Structure 1
Amino acid sequence: MATIYQVSELAKVSLATVSRVMNGNAKVSDKTREKVLAAMKELGYRPNSIAQSLASSRGNSIGLLVSELDGAFFGEMMAGVEGELRAAGKHIIVTTGHSIEEKEKEGIEFLISRNCDAIILHVEAVSDEYLVELSKGKTPIFIISRYVEQLSEHCISLDNELGGYLATKSLLTLGHTNIACIAGPQYKFDAKARFKGYQRALAEHGIPFKDELFYTADFKETGGSEGIAHLMAQTQKFTGLVCGNDEMASGAMTYAREHGLSLPSELSVIGFDDVIFARYLYPKLTTILNPVNEMGKMAAKLVLKQVYQTEEKNIQQVFKPSLIVRESATALSNT
């Protein structure tokens, strides 16, 4: 069986050059690339990950830590990362952190121990200070769906505050003034920012924030149903509801219908994320687009550019959310 060393000798180039050709590095001239490819063909050589690692001191594997493996949101995120990296001949190693500081740190240490060339992190419990210190190690880290100022060049993030603002503003524009909010856990950076957007929109219209119209839940469907049950038990009535994500919106809508509310005539609901099932709910969910698949692709491109020196262009690091209008929110009736 031919080896990478034989390819190097036959093509009369260094091992590093053979590695660059195998990795698709644009810094190799066309003439040199043709020489290497011709040598590989003559010898019947097929590159494998071990050979590539020996030639380039890299294993061509990237670690990916996400909060959960279930749910449409993280599926979209992982698909974006994996698809972009696989097209570049790289593989991912995936683990979870479950939004618990200890488990996030365990997951990070596991990925570092696997000698990943880089790690992409979706973390919610570890502090900014921890991430800054982690970035000083040998393994490059990249952060998705979160912004850390000191690591801005390694972050792919969404303007979550703007998303919360747009969701609430859309209901205000429809004439609603009593707008409740089921927010995600406030220790999570995205949930906290979305809640701030809700508050900003109310303040902009001179509407005071009311504690009895606010509930924090767990970003799950059950959290949405628990949230709407709590809100409906209050004396303060409301005609609009902003949910921190689509899963909670789904739970809230189901509970509201089962307890006699007509949607959207009696209650207008807006979600956040625009996961795939949002368009199949009844009524179809008006929501905020969170382009997590594109963000996953961008995180992968950032790794390819900064770690593997590929010529990636048009990398967008901060994404803007937008309102997706469907059928779950309507103008407030005066009757």
Structure 2
Amino acid sequence: MATIYDVSVLAGVSLATVSRVMNKNAKVSEKTLKKVQDAMDQLGYRPNAIAQSLASNRSNSVGILVSELHGPFYGSMLSGIEAELRVAQKHAIIAAGHSEEALEKEGIEFLISRRCDALILHVEAVSDDYLIDLVKKEVPIVLINRFIPSIANNCISLNNELGGYIAAKAMIEQGHREIAYISGPNWKMDACDRLQGHQRALKEFNITYNPKLTYEGDYQEGGGSDGLAYLLENDFPFSALVCANDEMAAGAMNLAREKKVAIPAELSIIGFDNIILAQYIYPKLSTIDYPVKQMGQMAARWILKNTFKKPELEVKNVFEPKLIKRDSIISHH
């Protein structure tokens, strides 16, 4: 197997020059660069990334832990992170935590053991205290979709409570007063915040919150169809349905079609996230924009700024949700 020494002999340059080429040092002339690269190609030499990382104390890789690898939400987040890292010539190592505390901790330990220079975490089950301790350790971390006041600088978050408020208010402003709600799992912080915002809007417009018109879903399409089935069996009428994410809204719309409930003529529906499919569902789904791709880019930028010393980069820590009004809501007067 060829070594860096073999490359230097064949190219007729010093070991230091080969090393400069491998580290993309600007002080190497085009002519020398070509000689070294030709020698590497001829010998089939591949730089040893592990040896390089031991020498430089940098692996040029960033660990990413997300809850799941399927679905449009996580796809957008990961592509936002990876695009920003790729431009800076850093690589991503990805693990999934499946919203379980043991698996999230295992994923974090795995990424640290791979000598990642920094971690981007979308975690839901580990405690705030665990994350506060983790921030004090040597591997820099940034959190997505999680806000912990004492480590606010390490958080890239969305104001989920405001998003829940905007969704309910959009229905109320169209004249709806009987409003049903399909929430995310109650143990997830973003689901609780969205429900709180929903309740705040109802209270502001003097509408009594009816727990019988709320169903705890799972952020999957099945949770949306099960939720609407449950709500339709109730004795409480409703003209509007707010769903805590778009996937559940899509599931609810599917069931509404099966049950011959016309959307939006008989039932107005709004989702949350603004996933790509929201504009292709029929009728097009009104939703709350969750700029997850930009938040992924911002998390990557935070790492580049704080770990790879690029102080000129601007980082935005808190994002505001916005109403995207399409065809699934109609006025009810």
Greater displacement, 40-49 / 94-103: 40-49
> After the TM superposition, which segments of 4 or more aligned residues of structure 1 sit over 3 Å from their partners?
1-11, 18-22, 36-40, 45-52
Instruction: Give the TM-score of the pair, scaled to structure 2.
Output: 0.89
Counterpart position of 1:41: 33
Measure how far apart 1:150 and its partner are: 1.7
Question: Are positions 1:241 and 2:241 aligned together?
Answer: yes
Are the equivalent residues in 1 in contact too, given 2:202–2:208 (CA < 8 A)? yes
Counterpart position of 1:294: 294
Counterpart position of 1:26: none
Measure how far apart 1:134 and its partner are: 1.5
Counterpart position of 1:326: 326
Q: 1:206 to 1:314 in 2, by over 3 A?
A: same
Counterpart position of 2:202: 202
Counterpart position of 1:160: 160
- The aligned amino acid for 1:35 is K
Are the equivalent residues in 2 in contact too, given 1:163–1:322 (CA < 8 A)? yes
Measure how far apart 1:9 and its partner are: 3.9
Paired with 1:7 and 1:191, the residues of 2 have a C-alpha distance of 60
Counterpart position of 1:28: none
Q: 1:207 to 1:306 in 2, by over 3 A?
A: same
Matched residue count: 318
Counterpart position of 2:172: 172
Paired with 2:87 and 2:242, the residues of 1 have a C-alpha distance of 38
Secondary structure at the aligned position of 2:59 is classed as: coil
Q: 1:21 to 1:271 in 2, by over 3 A?
A: same
Counterpart position of 1:310: 310
Mapping for residues 202-241 of structure 1, pairs under 5 Å? 202-241=202-241
Are the equivalent residues in 1 in contact too, given 2:21–2:36 (CA < 8 A)? no
Are the equivalent residues in 2 in contact too, given 1:19–1:52 (CA < 8 A)? no
Instruction: Give the TM-score of the pair, scaled to structure 1.
Output: 0.89
Q: 1:21 to 1:113 in 2, by over 3 A?
A: closer
Are the equivalent residues in 1 in contact too, given 2:268–2:329 (CA < 8 A)? yes
Share of identical aligned residues, percent?
Answer: 49
Paired with 2:319 and 2:242, the residues of 1 have a C-alpha distance of 21
CA RMSD in angstroms, aligned pairs only: 2.3
Q: 1:276 to 1:230 in 2, by over 3 A?
A: same
Greater displacement, 49-58 / 322-331: 49-58
Measure how far apart 1:86 and its partner are: 1.2
Paired with 2:91 and 2:312, the residues of 1 have a C-alpha distance of 18
- The aligned amino acid for 2:190 is D
Q: Which runs of 5+ in 1 are unaligned?
A: 23-32
Paired with 1:241 and 1:19, the residues of 2 have a C-alpha distance of 60
Are the equivalent residues in 1 in contact too, given 2:4–2:15 (CA < 8 A)? no
Counterpart position of 2:191: 191
- The aligned amino acid for 2:217 is A
Q: 1:98 to 1:240 in 2, by over 3 A?
A: same
Mapping for residues 1-335 of structure 1, pairs under 5 Å? 9-10=16-17, 22=24, 34-36=26-28, 41=33, 43-45=35-37, 48=47, 49-50=49-50, 52-332=52-332, 334=333
Paired with 1:85 and 1:210, the residues of 2 have a C-alpha distance of 46
Tell me the alpha carbon deviations over residues 81-110 of structure 1, each in whole angstroms, 9 at most, x when there is no partner: 111111111111111111111111111111
Tell me the alpha carbon deviations over residues 142-161 of structure 1, each in whole angstroms, 9 at most, x when there is no partner: 10111111221111111111
